[in-house]
Structure 1
Amino acid sequence: MNLLIVRLITFLNGQTTETTNYHIAVTMLNHYDNICSMSIGEIAKLCDVSKSTVSKFARTLGFDDYIDLKDNAVFIENRFNNPLNYVSNIITSIENEGYNEYFDAIIKDIDFFKSHFDLSIFDRVAKEIYTHDKVMAFGLIFSESAAIDLQYKLAYNGKFIHTFQDDLVQENFLRTAKEDTLILIFTNSGNYLTKQQIRAGTPKKSFFSQTKAKIIVISSNPKVLDFPFVEDAIIFPHQTNYQTHTFMYHLITDLIVARYRKIKNNEVPYDR
């Protein structure tokens, strides 16, 4: 997905509607197709604010200036030639193959996971969540939705973990995280660990090697276990070309919370 769209939506989700920046963000989204051809003066006039206010807003979103924001406004479907992107993999496939194939793929992945999952990994993850006071859960876009889902599910059971939707805030936290922190990473492809997935050119990501936190990954890619900074992983291999991870994440977070409850209630032994 386009970086500017992601940051605008993330920004809006954390703002009240009365602020000037909220108005600028909504205006940009409502006129998104025109941003690439608009000068800072034109966008300022459209938003009924000064050019300096637009510049400050661009920096608020994490861009160097308005030019940087504008460069990241170009929306090209599957601009990074990723066949697993949402529209190409899900929507276009539904259009071409029909709904039955999609339903069958979801059922096939769930059935495979049901027959092959190892409960011990869920106990290990749940124990780490139970024994760490500082627990974070991160992902991008749909994977970040899974992190938020886990946050709410654990809160229902008295465990409060944290997440950030902002990709820059996630990265800064990862760089400086200490040994007392557990970080759960939701990444279907595993690319979150190595690439800046929503930035032009998908530049390499290296700060995982710098973090001191304990990293546990939830992914369809078993190769994430090869990274030296990954402590453990829950793997759910896809059985078709459909990327059904949004459904699989819900099952996995339910199982994590179910085992967490067992540990919290002393029904599953663990080493303190």
Structure 2
Amino acid sequence: MGQLILRLLVVLNNEKLDSTNYHIAMTLLNHYHNINTLSITEVAKLCNVSKSTVSKFARSIGFDDYFDLKDAAVFIENRFQNDLNYVSNILSSIERLGTESYFDAIIKDIEAYKNQIDLDAIDRLASDLLNYENVAAFGLLFSESAAIDLQYKLAYNGKFIVTFQSDIKQEEYIEQANEDTLIIIFSNSGNFLAKQQLRAGTPKKNVFKHTKAKIVAVTSNTEVKDYPFVADGIYFPHQTEIQTHAVLYQIIMDMLVSRFRYYRKLEQVE
């Protein structure tokens, strides 16, 4: 999924149905495969708005102008040659090997995590959740879904954390965070911590070098331990080529929230 698609979906999920931004975003998505051939005049006509409104919209979702937005619209499946992306990895595997192989991969990775689980790491993060008043959780695409899920699961238990689907708001929050903030990063590959994953050439991400927050990673990439800005991590293994992290995230979060409840009860007794 490209950066433009992500940002347009964020608009749909956050803007009012009768807003101009919602209307433009929906129109662009409905004509997505033609955007790279459409002029700003043609897009303005499609949306029934002025060219200046289209330009303003492009800037409001993080692009320099309409031409920058248009450049991001070129749709190439696996544009950045990431063989771990959803279509190339999961859907192609199911199509080639069938559903039984997919279930086997999930079960194998769950068993591997069950046997290698670091309960101390989960306890440390659970304790941090109790002790930090300001907490945020971020990820990209399916990893951001895990962050949203954690937000809901903690809310059920009286702990309220921040998350954003917008990559722009995520970076702003990370860069501005102080020492009193805990940020949990969901990233199977660990690339969220080091790369601009949705940008051509995947340039380096420098925002973590400027943050003062405590960064805790949930990832399968143990090399993240060596990143100077990563204070701690929960690491899970992959025994197969199938990217099962969306399932593993759920298991990790359930155990994390359970331990948070445990520590909160201890605190209340004391």
Distance 1:206 1:104 in 2: 38
Say whether residues 1:142 and 2:142 are aligned partners.
Answer: yes
> Counterparts of 1:169-188 in structure 2 under 5 Å?
169-188=169-188
Contact 1:262 1:268 in 2 (8 A): no
Provide the C-alpha distance between the structure 2 equivalents of 1:228 and 1:255, rounded to a whole number of angstroms: 27
SS in 2 for 1:215: strand
SS of 1:76's equivalent in the other structure is coil
Check if 1:103 corresponds to 2:103.
yes
- Structure 1 partner of 2:38: 38
Aligned to 1:165: 165
**Matching residue's letter, 1:126:** A
Match of 2:63? 63
| Deviation string, structure 1 residues 173-227 (Cα, Å, up to 9, x no partner) | 1112110000000000000011000112111111211111000000011111111
Q: Which residue of 2 aligns with 1:228?
A: 228
**Contact 2:63-2:69 at 8 Å conserved across structures:** yes
Aligned to 1:266, the other structure's residue is in SS state helix
Who is 1:132 aligned against?
132
Distance of 1:207 and 1:48 partners within structure 2: 38
Q: CA deviation at 1:35?
A: 0.3
Structure 2: gaps spanning 5 or more residues: none
Residue 21 of structure 1 and its aligned partner are, at CA, apart by 1.1
Q: Which moved more, 1:132-141 or 1:205-214?
A: 205-214
Gaps of 5+ in 1: none
Q: CA 1:112–1:35 in 2, change beyond 3 Å: closer, same or farther?
A: same
Superposition pairs of residues 62-81 of structure 1, within 5 angstroms: 62-81=62-81
Give the superposed CA RMSD: 1.4
SS at match of 1:84: coil
Give the letter aligned to residue 128 of structure 1.
Answer: D
Q: How far did residue 267 of structure 1 move? A: 8.0
One-letter amino acid of the structure 1 residue matched with residue 211 of structure 2: T
Paired positions, count: 270
| Offset, 1:124 | 0.4
Contact residue 11 and residue 21 of structure 2 kept, 8 A = no
Q: Distance in 1 between matches of 2:85 and 2:168?
A: 22
Question: What SS does structure 2 have at the residue aligned with 1:12?
Answer: helix
Q: CA deviation at 1:116?
A: 1.5
**C-alpha distance in structure 1 between counterparts of 2:147 and 2:74, whole Å:** 28
Rounded to whole Å, the distance in 1 between the matches of 2:264 and 2:99 is 41
Partner SS for 1:162: coil
Deviation at 1:269, TM superposition (A): 11
1:125-160: CA deviation from partner (whole Å, max 9, x where unpaired):
000010000000011110000000000000000000
Aligned counterparts of 1:63 and 1:80: Cα–Cα separation in 2: 19
Q: How does 1:107-126 map to 2 (within 5 A)?
A: 107-126=107-126
What residue is the counterpart of 1:153 in the other structure?
Answer: 153
Secondary structure, counterpart of 1:189 in structure 2: coil
d(CA) in 2 for partners of 1:116, 1:60: 45
Mapped to 2, the partners of 1:213 and 1:34 lie a distance apart of 42
8 Å CA contact retained: 1:263, 1:269: no
Give 1:120 deviation, angstroms.
Answer: 1.2
User: Residue 201 of structure 1: SS of its match in structure 2?
Assistant: coil
Task: Give the TM-score of the pair, scaled to structure 2.
Answer: 0.98
Calculate percent identity across the aligned residue pairs. 61
Give, in whole Å, the separation in 1 of the partners of 2:82 and 2:205.
18
AA partner of residue 64 (structure 2) = D
Deviation by residue 1:5-57 (Cα, 9 ceiling, x = unmatched): 00000111001111111111001000101100000000000111110110011
Residue 135 of structure 2 aligns to a residue in which SS? strand
